[in-house]
Structure 1
Amino acid sequence: MTKETHIVGLDLGTSNITAVIAEMNADGQPEVMGMGVAASRGVRKGVVVNPEAAAEPIRRAVEEAERMSGLTVESVYVSMSGPLLRGINNNGIIAITSPERRITRADIRRVIETACVVTLPGGHEIIDVQPQEYIVDGQDGISDPIDMLGTRLEVSAHIITGPITVRQNVITAVNRAGLLVTGVVLEPIAAAEAVLTSDEREYGSVVINIGSETTSLAVYQRGAVQHTAIFPLGGSHFTNDIAFGVRTPIPEAERIKRDFGCVLSALVVSEGHHVIEVPSMSHRPPRSLSREILCDILQPRAEEILNHVHDELRRSGFDRQLSSGAILTGGGALLRGLSELAEQIFDCPARLGYPLCVSGMTEDINTPLLATAIGLVVVATRGGGTCYYSAQQNSGRLMARTATRMKHWLGNLF
């Protein structure tokens, strides 16, 4: 099977690295053929800080997805995150100079390039560009102006910027795993592509992706992303709060959070009194913990994270423009009561974001945990994702991939 027939989404999370392989089905929708998950290394707060360490779990996640799908991949679409990434809105305008005045793809590229003329701090670059709308001779609200006639073309775009090293370290890690980077997409934008309905994209919504060490958001209106932000708070903060509050090891705190965690006291009270046995540190006897006390530990942290998001929505002017509500994705979104708490804080509807518009392995992929990885595949099928770096940085990596895998295989034998 040729490499053009399948697409790989690679979500570089702080806790886990997830790879999803999909193909286009007869209806033009992505069908998931395989997936792989590996415990993450070399990633902190959504940023690759050690490419060498990150390369190994990337390779393992992709190889697991390959075994499941029976396919071999060479390139990936990859997510990017981190508090140092910023989103800005800017406009571009060009004249249509061809004699027939018909807008071409070359004109689209030119007008987007003019929108990308922005002032950046030293050592920063443009990472991704998301067109919001095109305007032809004053007519706005156009999503695809190809083949339209006009004399002037404008674009409004959401531009993701960040330190050059953030993108470089992602590419280095992926290349050292023997893979090429086809495109990069901001994490909440990828998640939104997987979970939003067309009405939610059109009438105003916010996607909130709660990862291990970061929470990111993307606001959608009029069919396009309007605002993005990333905060250094996430699911691991809940785990740390439990570990510190009840003096239990981190792995046990993670288990307690996953199995018994709830962030809305009203839900806990309605279920009656329940007691959890909590292992203690240093081989001491286990202790008892009520669900009410556990909620008292978790709810303030959930309120802090959601209030950070609400403050950002107020600051950007979108807090009263979310007719379609809030959609929660990522592992942190699985805490019971979080969507109900979000409704109280945002004063709008809220729901968990499950992947839409994909088929295959439906039981395995039907979780907010996989929204970003599946969203990357959806972006790729729609021709999205931008890589602002020279293709030469990927040169020779196909041969390097073979060498990397051979070295690993021989290492396992000997």
Structure 2
Amino acid sequence: MRRIYTSIDIGSSSIKVLVGEMIKNRLIVLATSYVRTKGVKKGLIIDANEVMSSIKEAIDIVEGKLGVKIRKVIASVPLYNMKYIETDGYATIDNEDNKVTGNDITRALQACVYNKVSEGEEIVTIVPMEFVLDNKSGIKDPKGMVGKKLGVRAINITTSKKNLYAIISILESLGLQVVDTNIGVVGEYFEYKNKEMDKSSGAIISIGSDLTNVATFDKGVIKSAESIPLGGSNIDKDISYIKKISKEDALKLKESFAIADRHYAHGSETVEVFDNYKKEIKLNQLEISEIVMSRIVEILKIAKKQASLLTNKENSYIIITGGMSEMPGMTSVIGDVFGKEARVGNIETMGIRDNSYASLSGMIKFFHEKLNLRGKEYTMFDEDDEEDLVSSRKGVLNITEDSILGKVFGYFFDK
């Protein structure tokens, strides 16, 4: 069975979709799409029709690239009203040889949820902290071990039913079955994590359009997260207001002209735009970068304070991610605000190099790890779709069996 999954992120400024295949615990990205959207404000859906139109466009783009129908997705849920509750549960091992199976793990995790979710709340995901088999604790994966009682400590991540069902109902109305939900910062952790991060405490700071999400982790498990009502759109508004130009032009200047650290900008680099009075004006890179840097520093300082409030432990790492983290000069500004412990996220997943996709790739990795823990195999595509997928990908890339790419794809798809 091929382990091919689709994830979707419904953000305030864009809808993103990613389709990837897990091969030997590595994610290979097969297709992505990015569509500007309206109808979402600060992560919450305010115009369902606008959002549905954008989702359909994003799905259509991916389907066109792959030549197959997308029917199932992993969906990202906004942090609004999210709760992080430490809980526990256990299951009795009742098979003949007392060996722990994936079903035993599933039953123990289900016990973490049963009668432990408040009315009006719904589970987004469960993050295991450790398993305990009889008197032995600190177990990450107990499958195959022998014992009589399996316990688990976990974090239940919950949100209001209203917020969760709003996303699920829109996706289902478009013929998309939601097979799993998660939050973006957990996905981002799973994209960037390494062995050192899994043994220490730290923070993920994700700068979005309307919001900046700050989450703290301890030994690979999310502890808490909050949203700051500031993001990239505030920079657009700053440029638009100060220079009296449209927000559309301000966005373009931010994305393709400005430098995050004004010390690397050049006053001699200029661009011409029309202001709100239809008059053509000349703007230089330095003056635009000064506006941008001022707001970025403010966002980072507030995020730094929020990260300190969320935990009483010293952060061994701070990773800055989100689309804004890709801006030239960002590393320098981050160093000035946070010091040496902070860095810009570095995606190593084959097929993407943009931090704005980190949550999507990470949600797939989390989902795959969850399936492995439970001893389950699953794919979002049937065999006919998989055959169509191989042929369509070869057609798009003009791959022959004797070419280097042909051998690479042959390895990926035949193993």
- TM superposition score normalised by structure 2: 0.80
The answer to whether residue 316 in structure 2 is matched with residue 316 in structure 1 is: no
Query: What's the CA shift for 1:253?
Result: 0.3
Q: Secondary structure at the match of 2:225?
A: strand
Which runs of structure 2 are paired with 1:281-292 in the superposition (5 Å)?
281-289=276-284, 291=286
**Which contiguous aligned blocks of 4+ residues in structure 1 show a shift greater than 4 angstroms?**
117-122, 271-276
How many Å separate the matches in 2 of 1:345 and 1:117? Answer: 44
User: What's the offset of the Cα at 1:247?
Assistant: 1.0
Contact kept, 8 Å, 2:331 with 2:343, in 1: the verdict is yes
Structure 2 letter corresponding to 1:316: L
* Structure-2 residue corresponding to 1:96: 92
1:304 and 2:298 equivalent? yes
Cα distance, 1:366–1:121 mapped onto 2, change above 3 Å: same
Tell me if structure 1 keeps the 8 A contact 2:205–2:215.
yes
> Per-residue CA shift, 1:127-163, capped at 9, x if unaligned?
2111122233443332112232334443232222211
**What SS does the corresponding residue of 1:383 show, helix, strand or coil?**
helix
**Residue 370 of structure 1: CA displacement?**
1.5
Aligned partners of 1:10 and 1:18 also within 8 Å? yes
Aligned AA (1:108): I
Candidates 325, 330, 337, aligned match of 1:333: 325
Query: 217, 236, 260: which is aligned to 1:220?
Result: 217
Under a length normalisation based on structure 1, what TM-score does the superposition of the two structures give? 0.80
Asked if structure 2 preserves the Cα contact closer than 8 Å seen for 1:216 and 1:228, the reply is yes
Instruction: Output one character per residue of 1:26-51: Cα deviation in whole Å (capped at 9) or x when no partner.
Output: x3433222222222232221222333
CA displacement, residues 238-266 of structure 1 (integer Å, 9 cap, x when unaligned): 11111112111001100111123233344
- Which has the larger displacement, 301-310 or 110-119? 110-119
Q: Indicate which of 42, 58, 62 corresponds to 1:45.
A: 42
Closer/same/farther in 2, CA of residues 50 and 203 from structure 1, 3 Å limit: same
For the pair 1:381 / 2:375, whether they are aligned, the reply is no
In 2 relative to 1, CA 236–155 (structure 1 residues): closer, same or farther, beyond 3 Å? Answer: same
Q: Could you tell me whether the CA contact under 8 Å between 2:240 and 2:246 is conserved in 1?
A: yes
Higher mean alpha-carbon deviation, 36-45 vs 174-183, is at 36-45
Shift of residue 23, structure 1, vs aligned partner: 2.6
> 2:17–2:34: 8 Å Cα contact kept in structure 1?
yes
Q: For 2:135 and 2:293, how far apart are their aligned partners in 1? A: 49
- Asked if structure 1 preserves the Cα contact closer than 8 Å seen for 2:112 and 2:154, the reply is yes
What is the Cα deviation at residue 283 of structure 1? 0.6
* Kept after mapping to 1: 8 A contact 2:258/2:285: no
Question: Any conservation in 1 of the 2:320–2:344 contact (CA below 8 Å)?
Answer: yes
Match of 1:21 in 2: 19
- Could you say what the CA RMSD is over the residues aligned between the two structures, in angstroms? 2.7
Distance 1:338 1:141, change over 3 A: farther
Partner in structure 1 of residue 390 of structure 2: none
Asked if the contact 2:225/2:310 (under 8 Å) is kept, the reply is no
Equivalence for 1:371: 358
Residue 107 to residue 228, structure 1, CA distance change in 2 (3 Å): farther
- CA displacement 1:37-95 (0-9 Å, x = unmatched): 22223222122233333122112111211111222221111111143223x24131436
The answer to whether the 8 A contact 2:82-2:160 is kept is yes
- Aligned CA distance change for structure 1 residues 95 and 338 (closer, same or farther; 3 Å): same
Matched, 1:113 2:110: yes
Alpha carbons of structure 1 residues 254 and 318: separation in structure 2 relative to 1, 3 Å: farther
Amino acid at match of 1:347: G
Out of 127-136 and 246-255, give the one that drifted further.
127-136
Q: 2: CA distance between counterparts of 1:51 and 1:376?
A: 24
Any conservation in 2 of the 1:90–1:116 contact (CA below 8 Å)? no
Q: In structure 2, what is the Cα distance between the partners aligned to 1:89 and 1:82?
A: 14
User: SS of the residue aligned with 1:54?
Assistant: helix
The Cα of 1:226 is off from its aligned counterpart by 3.2
State how far apart, in whole Å, the 1-side matches of 2:312 and 2:330 are.
Answer: 21
Shift of 1:313: 1.9
For 1:150, what is the secondary structure of its paired residue? coil
Residue 242 of structure 1 pairs with residue 234 of structure 2: no
Match of 1:294 in 2: 288
1:68 aligns with 2:65: yes
The worse-fitting range, judged by mean Cα deviation, of 179-188 and 125-134 is: 125-134
The code of the aligned residue for 1:333 comes to S
Deviations 1:366-410 (A, max 9, x none): 11121122223323332369xxxxxxxxxxxxxxxxxxxxxxxxx
What does residue 397 of structure 1 align with?
Answer: none
Structure 1 residue 341 displacement after superposition: 2.5
Q: 2: distance between equivalents of 1:141 and 1:31?
A: 31
Of 224, 229, 243, the match for 2:226: 229
SS of the equivalent of 1:64 reads helix
Alpha-carbon separation, structure 2, partners of 1:73 and 1:211: 26
Using a 3 Å threshold, how does the CA distance of structure 1 residues 179 and 199 change in structure 2: closer, same or farther? same
SS of 1:382's equivalent in the other structure is helix
Work out the CA distance in 2 between the residues paired with 1:339 and 1:275: 24
